[in-house]
Structure 1
Amino acid sequence: MKTNQLLYLSQDDVANVGLTMAEIVDAVERGFAEMGHGRVEMPPKPGIHPGEGGDNFIHAMPAYIPAMQSAGVKWVSGYPGNHAKGLPYITGLLILNDPDTGIPKAVMDCAWITAMRTGAASAVSARYLARPASSTIGILACGVQGHTNLEAMNVLFPLEKVFAFDPNKDNASDLADFARQLGLNVEIVDDPKKAVAGCDIVVTSGPILKVPHATIQAGWVDPGTFVSLVDFDSFFSREALGEAAKWTTDHIGQYNYYKDAGGYFQDCPEIYAELGELVTGGKTGRENADEITMAANLGLAMDDMAVAPLIFQRAVEKSIGTWLPL
């Protein structure tokens, strides 16, 4: 690291360092192990909600993982209406600090990191909650998170068939092309039930909404299915959520903050476990082939800080990015 300088990494720079999804899954799982042992400092993320409707957010997400020599903060926004403007839903920056001195050593675009680590966290949950031989997956909402969740699940499971549902046909077509690049068979469906019933794994990855549209109804999810609710509870009716044998999240404190202060997760099942508890064995994951298991992961600063040092190290090794004076 250069003295009195920080490394700026654009979105292209971050993507071009060459970090693989398998490496990201491993890093995120290690972070959850640290969290499960109580060795991560991470307050619930505060946020603001500009505009009308309440679904826009800009969040500050700090975390410190001593074992991974990682400290920093992500300032990230999510605006559901951006798609209509030709803009990305998720944007923001991540600041990585030297944990020994507190001096910022890198500023990097966070959109790629957010997309990849979110998919990785879903896959880590699935490692403990899905059936190991899971081969069919349904993706409902086929944007960025649909892609990265599929990529991450494909790292850990012997996937063969993808069912893709999205009201936006271009999104569904893009996901289908991506699935074929991964060597998977894919079917675009026009009925959301066809992307749920009969699947081993289901991922809902649309915008996070305070008022759920509740598309998925009771009886759609088969016994034994694992569901990753990337968009919180937006896709599910309360009756469908009530069918879960195990309802999990990545951080109970943050979950309760969203529930009590933000109005999300109303009338949802009682939390069975945090992901860190599953990773460390503090709580048992799937216990039989018929359990419906669900993970409502929120997206944690810990995820970002588990990945950011790897990006910084790889960028320095490959001379990627721009050094700026402090």
Structure 2
Amino acid sequence: MLTLGNGDVRRILDGREKEVLNVVREAYLRHADEQTSLPHSVFLRFPDDTRNRIIGLPAYLGGPRPLAGMKWIASFPGNVANGLERASAAIILNSMQTGQPVALVEGSTISARRTAASAALAAAALPPADGRETGVALIGCGVINFEVLRFLLAVRPELADITVFDLDAGRAEAFRDRSAAEFGGDGRVVRVAESVEAALSAHRLVSLATTAGVPHLDLRDCRPGTLVLGVSLRDVTVEGVLQAVNVVDDPDHVCRAATSVHLAETRVGDRSFIHGTLGELLREESPGHRDERRPTLFSPFGLGVLDLALAGLVLSEARVAGIGTEVTGFLPEPQASGATAAS
């Protein structure tokens, strides 16, 4: 079994945003074409602890090189104050011939970049009706929104005005400085908004990637025609959801676990307010356009097939480049043909 650590994964994926976008796009299309198996995610929560959780995402992705496996991802927001990343993850890939595990891949970078690629694909598939968009607001200054910015610039390099906001002013300033250092070429300007309301109204493209557990934004401060990338899923109030054009990755998955979309479904009793999926949009030969009068909200639950797709890319490239550590003796030794299995 091959093990690939975070450094290995980053070495393979860094600078390959276009390829990552293509892999994630293909996974969405295969899911839309029912070439996947995607059981609901399993949420492990703890007594007297409503903040921390670990989620298991089993999945199968069909195609010429089918993949099966599972991502096991922990979210412990308190880690940030101790200098650790909020999320940590491991991805197991299994052989489709034997079912045996063939790789253990560190998954935090994969998880962040597939999430960011999803947001960027939505932004590319839903341009403004007038074709003009020069800025983006990022609310929540952590790892996810940094990757969202990276991938947005890969599909929308014209974004030159970047506004950021975080409840922790120090995090916002550090995010601004890092963004300016990495993406500040070509005349781009990165600034910190004074309030979340100011950030929401700054541009017609907004990414929400916070650790909020309950809805707190109604989108009234958004400009008409704004695309809100609701990556963190629990920021927007039910009223905000119902007043928006809603695009999701998968209705059955996103309408769970007290997401904003789930709460809206509970309120109205059906899913008629969901207007379509990203996979359907990606099938179209030309991009659609947003409603000019109200916000469009993209709510991606985060499908395990996306993690598999990127982990499969990492594993394939690692084998070619000789990257990673092969662990021997992890599985039982093969029995001789015809031997009796132990009871």
Contact 1:232 1:265 in 2 (8 A): no
Measured after TM superposition, the shift of residue 178 of structure 1 is 3.4
Unmatched 5+ residue regions in structure 1?
1-5
Q: When the two structures are aligned, how many residues end up with a matched partner?
A: 314
Aligned partner of 2:10 among 4, 10, 15: 15
Measured after TM superposition, the shift of residue 175 of structure 1 is 2.2
Measured after TM superposition, the shift of residue 51 of structure 1 is 4.6
**Cα distance in structure 2, aligned partners of 1:77 and 1:264:** 22
Paired residues for 1:20-169 under 5 Å: 20-67=16-63, 68-131=65-128, 132-157=131-156, 158-169=158-169
**Cα distance in structure 2, aligned partners of 1:38 and 1:64:** 11
Stretches (4+) displaced over 6 A: none
Amino acid at match of 1:318: A
Measured after TM superposition, the shift of residue 122 of structure 1 is 0.8
**Cα distance in structure 2, aligned partners of 1:190 and 1:320:** 45
Q: Which moved more, 1:79-88 or 1:59-68?
A: 79-88
Q: Which moved more, 1:194-203 or 1:79-88?
A: 79-88
After superposition, give the CA deviation of every residue in 1:218-249 in whole Å (9 maximum; x if it has no partner). 53111111001111132x333333331x1121
Larger Rg: 2
**Cα distance in structure 2, aligned partners of 1:128 and 1:119:** 14
Amino acid at match of 1:229: G
Amino acid at match of 2:221: W
Amino acid at match of 2:102: K
Contact 1:206 1:231 in 2 (8 A): yes
Measured after TM superposition, the shift of residue 169 of structure 1 is 2.7
Q: Which residue of 2 aligns with 1:220?
A: 221
Q: Which residue of 2 aligns with 1:303?
A: 306
After superposition, give the CA deviation of every residue in 1:206-229 in whole Å (9 maximum; x if it has no partner). 1151x22x1x34531111110011
Q: Which residue of 2 aligns with 1:252?
A: 251
**Cα distance in structure 2, aligned partners of 1:127 and 1:218:** 21
Paired residues for 1:190-205 under 5 Å: 190-205=194-209
**Cα distance in structure 2, aligned partners of 1:219 and 1:164:** 18
Q: CA RMSD in A?
A: 2.3
Amino acid at match of 1:256: C
**Cα distance in structure 1, aligned partners of 2:295 and 2:255:** 23
Contact 2:290 2:296 in 1 (8 A): no
Amino acid at match of 2:301: L
TM-score (norm. length: structure 1): 0.89
Residue 313 (str. 1) matches residue 316 (str. 2): yes
Paired residues for 1:158-197 under 5 Å: 158-180=158-180, 181-182=182-183, 183=185, 184-197=188-201
Measured after TM superposition, the shift of residue 56 of structure 1 is 2.0
Contact 2:243 2:294 in 1 (8 A): no
Q: Structure 1 residues 114 and 125 mapped into 2: Cα distance closer, same or farther (>3 Å)?
A: same
Q: Which residue of 2 aligns with 1:271?
A: 274
After superposition, give the CA deviation of every residue in 1:92-128 in whole Å (9 maximum; x if it has no partner). 2101122233222110111111111100111112222
Measured after TM superposition, the shift of residue 46 of structure 1 is 1.3
Amino acid at match of 1:248: V
Contact 2:162 2:189 in 1 (8 A): yes
After superposition, give the CA deviation of every residue in 1:75-104 in whole Å (9 maximum; x if it has no partner). 111122222333321112101122233222
Question: Matched residues, percent identical?
Answer: 25
**Cα distance in structure 2, aligned partners of 1:264 and 1:133:** 28
Measured after TM superposition, the shift of residue 196 of structure 1 is 1.1
**Cα distance in structure 2, aligned partners of 1:323 and 1:170:** 42
TM-score (norm. length: structure 2): 0.84
Q: Which moved more, 1:316-325 or 1:269-278?
A: 269-278
Amino acid at match of 1:151: R
**Cα distance in structure 2, aligned partners of 1:18 and 1:88:** 19
Amino acid at match of 2:148: N
**Cα distance in structure 1, aligned partners of 2:141 and 2:85:** 14
Amino acid at match of 1:253: D
